Amino acid sequence: MEQPRVIGHVVSVSGFRLKVELSADAKSSSRATPDGVQRAVAINAYLTFDLGAGTHALGVLSDLEARETYDPTSDDELSLQLTKPRRVASVQLLGTVKQVTKGKWKFDTGITVLPTLDTPAEVANPDILDCVFGQPPQRNRPEGWAEGDFDFALEIGHQTGDENTIVKASFNDLFSRPLAIVGNTGSGKSYTVASLLRSVIENAAVGAKVGTDPHIFILDINGEYATAFLKADEQNYHRDPNEAYINGKKWTLPVWLMNSEEVCEWLSASEQTQQPVLKAWWAHLKSGAMHAQPKADYLENALASAAEMKSNLTKMKKKEVASNVENILSFAVAGGLPISATEITGVKAVTDVHSSFGPMTTDKVSNPAAIAEALTKLERAIQAASENQAPKGEAIASGDTPIYFPRAALSDTTSLAKAASLEDAPRIDQFLTTLRMRLRTRLADKRWSVFTNYENLGIKNTSDWFKSLGFTAGASRVTIIDLSMLAHEVLPFACSAIGRVLLEAREKLAAGQRYESPWVIVLEEAHNYARPSRQDEDRGQALSRKAFERIAKEGRKFGLSLVVASQRPSEISPTIISQCANFFSHRLQNPDDIDHFKRIIPRQAQRLLDQVTVLASGEAIVFGSAVHVPSRVQVKIPSQEPSSITSAPFADWAKAHTFPLAEVLNAWGAIEPHGAALGTLAPIPALSNEEDDIPF
C-alpha cells in the first residue's frame, strides 16, 4: 500500500533524538502529498511518528548525512563498504499531537512514549502543523472569566520556506511578560517591533476602540518609529537639539518627577555631607512651602535623630547627649508637638537629665537607661503628633512624590541653605559650595533642558504631565517617546525617570485593579541604557539599569511589561534578559551574543539557534512560552514601516548630491544667534557676584 507521506523509518532512539534512515525514493526536499506539496527531506522539516491510539510524536529534522561504510564493532580496522550510501536524518522530538476530531489536533509538549525502531517517519500533514503553529497556547485566563475569548492567536509571520504554514503566538503571553527582540543591525529588529505593535492597533477587538488610554510606550532613541505609527502629515515633524517629543509634539520630563535618589545622582551629591541636605531640600521644594520645612519633615527628622541617639548612647559623651537632646526637642516643637504633650508624656525627664549634668564635661553619661526610656516616650509623642497631622488615607508629600514646584525655585540657593541650617549649617555649609555650582551648571546646560522646560509647555502638575504622555480621550494606543535628540549623558536619566514613574503609577493602584489596562514599554536599543552592572558605570546608567531590572522582575504583578530590542544581548543586564519569557532572535554574528543565548534557551531550540548566523533580513528564530515549539519564521512586514533603511552608496554616490551641512549645524545648535559667522567667538560673560561662585 502506497504511503505518500512516509520518507523513512526509525533506526536509532537516543533520549529525545531519533535517527531516521531515508527510503530510496525520498531524495527531494519536497514531496507531493494528498494535501499538496510539502517540505520533506530538508532541514527544519517537521515529521511525525505514529505512537498508536491517534497519538503522534512530532519532531524537527535537524541534520542529514550519507554513510558509505558501516562499522559493526568499535574496532576501527573492521568496516563494511556499502553498495549504496546509507542516508540518515537526525530528528529532535518536540512533543506529541493527538487527534481530537477529524482534522482537529491538540499539541502537548510532553512526551511519555517514544517511537520504537522501524516506526515510519511521515511528513506532518497541514492540520497538525496548523495545530502546532496556528493555535498557540492560551495564557492568562482572567479570574472568573465565563465566556468569550480571553486570548488571541497573533500572527507573527510564516515558516521559512513554507508560506502556507502561518506562525502565531499568544497575544497575552507576548505582552504580559518581558519579550526580547535581538539581532545585528539591519537584521530586521525594528520591523519586527513595528509588525507586532501594528498587529495590536489593527486588531478589531483591541485596537479599534475609541477613547481609550495608551497601552504601549516606545522609547525611540533613534527617531525611527514615527513613520510606523503616526499619520502621514504628522511624521515629518521638526526636531530641535536637546528636546524630546511625544507623537511629534514637544515634550518634557519635569525635574520634579525625580525622586530623592535620582536628584542626588543627577547632581553627583556626595553621600555623607551633601545627600542628606539635598534630600531635605528636595522634600522642601515639593512641600509647596518655600520659606519653611513642612512639619511632617521636622517630626521625621526628630524621630530619626532619636532612634540614632538611642543606638549610640553608650558611646556618647555628656556634651553630645545634651546637644542631641536640644536638637530633637527643637525639631519636635517645630513639627507641631505641643509643649503640654512633652510634659504629660514624661519627655521632660530628658531635659532634667540634661540639667543634672552640671558643668559640661566630656565624660560618658552614667544613666543611659534613663535617657533611652525618656527618648522612647518622646518617640511615642512624636509619632502621635505625626499621625494627627496626616488624616487617614492622605499621603504625606516627600522628596519621592512627583509634585510640581516652580522652575525658579531651583535657582534659589537660599532655600538650600535653609535645608542645611537644620543640620548645623556652619559645619557643613562649606561642603555645599560645589553642590550649588553643579546645580547652576545643570540649569545652564542646554542638554538638560528637557528636565526644566515644563513651564514653557504648560505643565503645572502631575495630571498635566500624564495627559501630555497620551492619557487623553481618543489618544493613540501607541505613544512614541522620541528621545533621539537627547545627549548621550542625558538619555539614561530620561529613560530611568520614565520607567520608574510608570511602574510607581501602577503600584498605586488597588490590588484588584493592577491587572486592568496593562502597559508595555518598548526599550529600543536597550544596550544604551540597560547595561550590566559595572564598577565604573555612570550614575545615570546605574539608575536606568535598576529601574528596568525592577520592572523586569516585578512589573508582571502590576500590569507592566517590557519589549527589549537590542543589537547586543550580552550587553544588556542579565537580570532583564533572564526574566524574558519569549525571544525573537534575528541574525547574530558575535560569538559572545550567541553563547549568551544558548545558555538561557531550552535544549530543543539550541540546534535551531545554530542557524542564527545565516538568517536573512526579516527572519527570526522564535521561541518561548507564547508558542508551542521553537521555529524559524519570516516575520510579516508591517503595514507602516519604520524609518530604518540601510543606505545604498553605489546608487547615491552616483547622484550630484551635497551633504546638507547647514541643516545639520542648525539642528545641532552650532550656528551662532544673530547671524554670527561660524567660528566667531562669543563674548565672555561677566562673572557673577554671588558669594558662592568658584573663581576658576
- Render pLDDT for 159-173 as a digit per residue (tens, 0 to 9): 998 888 999 999 999
Lowest mean pLDDT among 205-209, 224-228, 309-313: 205-209
Residue-wise pLDDT tens digits, 432-459: 888 888 999 999 999 999 999 999 999 9
**pLDDT in the model for residue 31:** 80
**pLDDT in the model for residue 377:** 80
pLDDT band for position 274 (cuts 50, 70, 90) = confident
Mean pLDDT of 630-639: 93
Most confident of the following: 26-30, 231-235, 336-340, 501-505 = 501-505
- Check whether 95 has a pLDDT greater than 80: yes
Q: Identify the residue with better confidence: 519 or 471.
A: 519
To 5 degrees, how large is the angle CA 491–CA 555–CA 154? 95
Q: Position 248: which residue type?
A: G
Lowest mean pLDDT among 94-108, 291-305, 418-432: 418-432
Query: Cα–Cα distance between 242 and 668 in angstroms, integer?
Result: 9
- CA 556 to chain CA centroid, Å, is 12
CB 664 within 8 A of CB 620: no
- Check whether 689 has a pLDDT greater than 50: no
- 123 bridge partner residues: 47
pLDDT band for position 290 (cuts 50, 70, 90) = very low
Pairing verdict, β 162-170 and 80-101: unpaired
Q: Identify the residue with better confidence: 198 or 301.
A: 198
The C-alpha cell at 600 is: 538561557
Mean pLDDT of 251-256: 96
Q: Percentage of residues in the chain with pLDDT exceeding 90?
A: 42
Mean pLDDT of 249-269: 94
To 5 degrees, how large is the angle CA 164–CA 198–CA 211? 135
Q: What DSSP assignment string belongs to 148-178?
A: S-SS-EEEEEEETTEEEEEEEEEHHHHHHS-
Mean pLDDT of 316-326: 73
**pLDDT in the model for residue 270:** 87
- 452 in the Ramachandran plot: left (φ > 0), alpha (ψ -120 to 50) or beta? alpha
- Check whether 11 has a pLDDT greater than 90: yes
pLDDT band for position 79 (cuts 50, 70, 90) = low
Q: Percentage of residues in the chain with pLDDT exceeding 70?
A: 80
Backbone angles phi, psi at 127, to 5 degrees: -65, -40
**pLDDT in the model for residue 356:** 47
- Check whether 217 has a pLDDT greater than 80: yes
Mean pLDDT of 609-626: 91
Lowest mean pLDDT among 311-325, 378-392, 637-651: 378-392
CA 633, 637, 643, 645 torsion-angle sign: positive
Query: Cα–Cα distance between 62 and 66 in angstroms, integer?
Result: 14
Mean pLDDT of 367-381: 80
The C-alpha cell at 448 is: 538638560
pLDDT band for position 2 (cuts 50, 70, 90) = low
The C-alpha cell at 16 is: 529525545
CA distances 23 to 146, 476, 669, Å, are: 51, 57, 71
pLDDT band for position 67 (cuts 50, 70, 90) = confident
Lowest mean pLDDT among 127-131, 175-179, 361-365, 369-373: 361-365
- 17 bridge partner residues: 14, 92
Does the model's pTM come out above 0.85? no
Q: Identify the residue with better confidence: 633 or 675.
A: 633
- Check whether 680 has a pLDDT greater than 60: no
- Check whether 292 has a pLDDT greater than 60: no
- Check whether 601 has a pLDDT greater than 50: yes
Question: What's the CATH architecture for 170-254+454-635?
Answer: 3-Layer(aba) Sandwich (3.40)
- 634 bridge partner residues: 158, 619
Residue 278 is classified by DSSP as H
- CB atoms < 10 A from the CB of 598, how many? 14
Q: Identify the residue with better confidence: 451 or 426.
A: 451
Three-state DSSP at 596 gives helix
Lowest mean pLDDT among 483-487, 514-518, 530-534: 514-518
Q: Identify the residue with better confidence: 472 or 135.
A: 135
pLDDT band for position 408 (cuts 50, 70, 90) = confident
Three-state DSSP at 462 gives helix
Mean pLDDT of 528-533: 92
Q: Across the chain, what does the average pLDDT equal? A: 82
- Check whether 316 has a pLDDT greater than 70: yes
- List of residues 6+ apart from 336 with CB closer than 8 A: 295, 298, 299, 385, 389
**pLDDT in the model for residue 133:** 95
Q: Identify the residue with better confidence: 322 or 512.
A: 512
What does the domain layout of the chain look like in residue ranges?
6-134, 170-254+454-635, 260-430
- Check whether 353 has a pLDDT greater than 60: no
Mean pLDDT of 322-327: 72
Lowest mean pLDDT among 216-230, 298-312, 661-675: 661-675
Mean pLDDT of 467-486: 86
Query: Cα–Cα distance between 61 and 571 in angstroms, integer?
Result: 33
- Check whether 289 has a pLDDT greater than 60: no
Query: Cα–Cα distance between 288 and 290 in angstroms, integer?
Result: 6
